[in-house]
Structure 1
Amino acid sequence: MPKQEHAEAVQSETPENKTPENKTPGKTESPAETSAEPLVRAETQSDELNDGLNPLERRILALERRGFKHQGSKEKAIKALGFPPIAYYQMLNVMLDDERVRAAAPRLVDALRARRDAD
């Protein structure tokens, strides 16, 4: 590889030359824009979650999306939500039959329904 092509390839691989999808090449950001970015992202995500689910239902779905290696880890997370495991699984079972929940997370609900029905 000629020196110029090699230098261009190495330069294009450096982090400062990578352009994120939502950034304009050559645009510099002020520190205020950089620190506000996570806030804008959080607001956008909360707008996407405006699906008719209450906050508890969203937290239960978020917990079910997580992967747990050990059953004890999941039970600790359930207790952190403020529920005994039996009450949590009863709520989850009711949620799996709710079409609002399925509309909000179809793949997750289908997978959980399949697991429930297999038992």
Structure 2
Amino acid sequence: MGKINLDYLIYKEFKELIKNFMGNKKFEISYGIEDEVILKNFVVYVEYKNREFKLLAQKSFSGDSGWDYKETDPDELIEKLESEFEKFKNKILEFDKVNKMSVEELKEEYFKKMGLKKSTE
């Protein structure tokens, strides 16, 4: 899929990006051609401030090969990846915010999060 800039992903709907990438592809399986997308895992590399981050959603399997066997649905896989992206995006934006704070702002934020009042001596 290649690298994608984080700012692009923040302002562009993530699901739309994945659907555009996947398109109407047909995947060949042992029983013939299926319209459904067959994915084992989905990886997106996000580029941000000259660093590369890997987001991954993997297909999971449950049960044995009998009647209770279940694979992760492709839509569920995309939802997992979306969820991973949201967590990642929030961490990056929080990191950027903290990175731009002065020492005094950082102290104030720390005391606020700890539920403590900063002494005014």
- CA radius of gyration, larger in: 1
More helix by share: 1
TM range (shorter): under 0.3
TM-score by length of 1: 0.27
More strand by share: 2
